[in-house]
Amino acid sequence: MTRAIYPGSFDPFHNGHLDIARRAAGLFDELLVTVFDAPAKQLLFSTDERIELAGEALEDVKNITIVSYSGLTVKWAQRHGIRVIVRGLRNVDDLSFESRIDMANRLMAPQIETCYLLCSTDYVYLSSTILKEVASLDGDVSHWVTPHTEEALRQRFAERKQ
């Protein structure tokens, strides 16, 4: 059985992430969407909230499990017997960044492979940063997220305005 992880901060989980996760689930027996609990950036949603948002978006995909993790992704994968890390790429900048991470990972865990999936052209420009900025300014993000995530964004930014 081939297991893979799709790691990220997923703050929040958007349709670009959804596209990569669904496609990766079709390639592997089991896909773990791993939500990094302590990225070096300011988060809008807690780890539990990010897990819930991803879970709601992926609830119909039977071979996906969503979990949180800490520490180095490659070390977490090693400890759990996972041999493939899935990464989504939007452009050559992503490839440059991800390939440097992959080279470092290979030094630490040469048995783990990275599988790159190019995102759908519908989401080539989308990032969580852009999504959050548009949502914070009351812009329409319905084409970028599930209704559940759209509502969570609306509520979070309403709370911040009070």
> Is 160's pLDDT higher than 90?
no
Cα separation, 156 vs 161, in Å, equals 9
- For 84-114, write each residue's pLDDT tens digit: 999 999 999 999 999 999 999 999 999 999 9
- pTM for the model: 0.94
Q: Is 120 a catalytic site residue?
A: no
Strand, coil or helix: 123: helix
Check residue 38 and give its pLDDT. Answer: 83
Q: Choose the catalytic residue: 41, 79, 100, 143.
A: 41
Whole-number Å distance between alpha carbons of 92 and 80: 30
Residue 143 CA to its chain's centroid (Å):
17
pLDDT of 40 reads 79
- Annotated catalytic residue within 3, 90, 148, 156: 90
Sign for the pseudo-dihedral over CA of 154, 157, 159, 162: negative
- Catalytic pick among 9, 14, 50, 128: 128
pLDDT of residue 54: 98
Confirm whether 90 is a catalytic residue: yes
Q: Is 17 part of the annotated catalytic residue set?
A: yes
CB contact at 8 A, 67 and 32: yes
Model confidence pLDDT, tens digit, residues 14-67? 999 999 999 999 999 999 999 999 877 889 999 999 999 999 999 999 999 999
14: annotated active-site residue: no
Can you give the pLDDT at residue 113?
97
Which residue out of 17, 50, 87, 132 is catalytically annotated? 17
